[in-house]
């Protein structure tokens, strides 16, 4: 028997300001059930997107196209394809109609390391890098186009309470980074796991 894992976060968790949700997702558990196997880990880096006045957000424009789902029901996955080869995964937040979500940037692998490696990572890549970065995170979990719009409060792909206060050793760090010299982005990370 596998040991029990915490319950999924309720929808009310996501029905708040995107920045609050981004912070509170640190330390929570991202779990995927695939082929009868549990794959996943502890969320250690998030990034809030959307709300009014975020030019970097896909939801900055009209509620149409791929970002339409960001304006919809909270606690739904927004998965998009980028750079012709990577998927990225968000959790939709806030009230319906606002257009916001939390990008899951990195997690610490806890279950299914073998299943992750079977997805063809570089052979030398250390375990802690398998879910480090939004593209690798989705690849490790086997999350792709078919997961766009899925429910995160139940079903195979869930986010669960993880005892953030205990797990995130030094509390969240909030950063301001520059993406390729053009655009400023806020991100929130646990210092307990290095990305390098």
Partner DNA sequence: TCTATGATCGTA
Partner DNA sequence: ACGATCATAGAG
Tell me which residues touch DNA (CB under 7 A).
47, 49-50, 56-59, 61, 64-67, 70, 78, 80-86, 88, 90, 101, 103, 121-122, 125, 129, 132-137, 179-180, 182-183, 185
Q: Which is nearer to DNA, 114 or 180 (CB)?
A: 180
What residues form DSSP beta bridges with 92? 101
Instruction: Give dist(CA 182, CA 180) in Å, integer.
Output: 6
Find the shortest distance in angstroms from Cβ 92 to DNA: 10
Find the shortest distance in angstroms from Cβ 72 to DNA: 13
SS3 113: helix
Q: What is the Cα 85 distance to its own chain's centre?
A: 18
* Rg from Cα positions in the chain: 16
Q: Which is nearer to DNA, 16 or 68 (CB)?
A: 68
Q: Which is nearer to DNA, 7 or 183 (CB)?
A: 183
Q: Where are the beta strands (DSSP E) in the chain?
A: 29-34, 37-50, 77-82, 86-92, 100-111, 157-160, 173-179, 183-189
Q: Which is nearer to DNA, 23 or 132 (CB)?
A: 132
Tokens 């976060």: give the residue: 9
Find the shortest distance in angstroms from Cβ 83 to DNA: 4
């Amino acid at each position: 028997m596998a040991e029990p894992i915490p319950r999924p976060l309720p929808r009310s968790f996501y029905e708040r300001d995107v920045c609050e949700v981004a912070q509170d997702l640190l330390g929570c558990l991202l779990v995927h059930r695939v082929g009868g196997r549990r794959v996943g880990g502890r969320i250690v880096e998030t990034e809030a997107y959307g709300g009014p006045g975020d030019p970097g957000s896909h939801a900055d424009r009209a509620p149409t196209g791929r970002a339409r789902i960001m304006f919809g029901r909270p606690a739904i996955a927004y998965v998009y394809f980028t750079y012709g080869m990577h998927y990225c995964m968000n959790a939709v937040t806030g009230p319906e109609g606002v257009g916001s979500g939390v990008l899951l940037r990195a997690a610490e692998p806890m279950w299914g390391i073998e299943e992750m490696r079977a997805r063809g990572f570089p052979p030398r890549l250390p375990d802690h890098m398998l879910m480090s970065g939004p593209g690798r995170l989705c690849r490790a979990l086997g999350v792709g186009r078919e997961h766009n719009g899925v429910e995160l409060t139940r079903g195979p792909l869930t986010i669960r309470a993880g005892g953030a206060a205990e797990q995130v050793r030094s509390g969240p760090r909030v950063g301001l980074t520059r993406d390729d010299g053009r655009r400023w982005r806020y991100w929130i990370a646990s210092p307990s796991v290095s990305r390098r």
